[in-house]
């Protein structure tokens, strides 16, 4: 069993996102510095997926990290978004078996669109951004 506590802006480290993972009695912590606005978390077995929106580069980015060992270690960050003139918000994650879906809204002066990135290998790689508001067939991993 894994208990996960998420807190933003703790008194010890203001402005940090703290994710504390407590598998049984051993403890581990990861900290991600930056002006995070949205955080999403999903757990499937020993797989833990965390994504957040940040703006450290001047553009909003969706950042993703995965742990495949119940939080003992986390893989390198993956930037899932590729936008320059959009505000990103309302990030969500769904996970089951080897599949991970990360969804968020992209907004600019003329549109608000839901988009997604899908992984079929426990968050190691992701398909291209799928614009969910588009008409017609949207190709995703099967």
At residue 82, the pLDDT reads 82
Residues of the chain falling short of pLDDT 70: 1-37, 138-142
CA dihedral 70, 75, 81, 87 (to 10 degrees): 60
pLDDT digits (tens, 9 = 90+) for 54-89: 988 888 999 999 999 999 999 999 999 988 888 999
Provide, for the chain, the percentages of residues in helix, strand and coil under a 3-state DSSP scheme, each rounded to the nearest 5. Answer: 0, 50, 50
DSSP, collapsed to helix, strand or coil, labels residue 24 as coil
Q: Give the helix/strand (H/E) hosting 114.
A: strand 112-119
Sign of the Cα pseudo-torsion (131, 124, 99, 77, in order): negative
The confidence score (pLDDT) of residue 139 equals 59
Rg of the Cα atoms in the chain: 15
Indicate whether this model's pTM tops 0.85.
Answer: no
Alpha-carbon distances, residue 58 vs 31, 97, 111, 116 (angstroms): 21, 35, 20, 22
pLDDT for 74:
95
DSSP annotation string for 56-101: SSSS-EEEEEEESSTTS--PPPEE----SS-EEEEEEEEEETTEEE
Residue 24 corresponds to which tokens in the numbers above?
A: 């049984």
Domains and CATH numbers, the chain: 2-131 (2.120.10.10)
pLDDT of residue 17: 43
């Amino acid at each position: 069993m894994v208990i996960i506590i998420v807190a933003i802006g703790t008194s010890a480290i203001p402005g940090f996102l703290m994710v504390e993972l407590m598998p049984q009695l051993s403890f581990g912590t990861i900290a991600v510095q930056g002006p995070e606005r949205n955080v999403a978390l999903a757990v499937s077995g020993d797989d833990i997926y965390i994504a957040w929106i940040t703006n450290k580069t001047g553009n909003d980015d969706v950042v993703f990290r995965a742990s495949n060992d119940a939080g003992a270690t986390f893989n390198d960050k993956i930037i899932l978004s590729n936008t320059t003139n959009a505000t990103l918000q309302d990030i969500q994650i769904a996970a089951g078996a080897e599949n991970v879906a990360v969804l968020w809204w992209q907004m600019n002066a003329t549109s608000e669109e839901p988009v997604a990135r899908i992984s079929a290998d426990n968050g190691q790689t992701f398909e291209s951004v799928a614009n969910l508001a588009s008409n017609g067939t949207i190709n995703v991993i099967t």
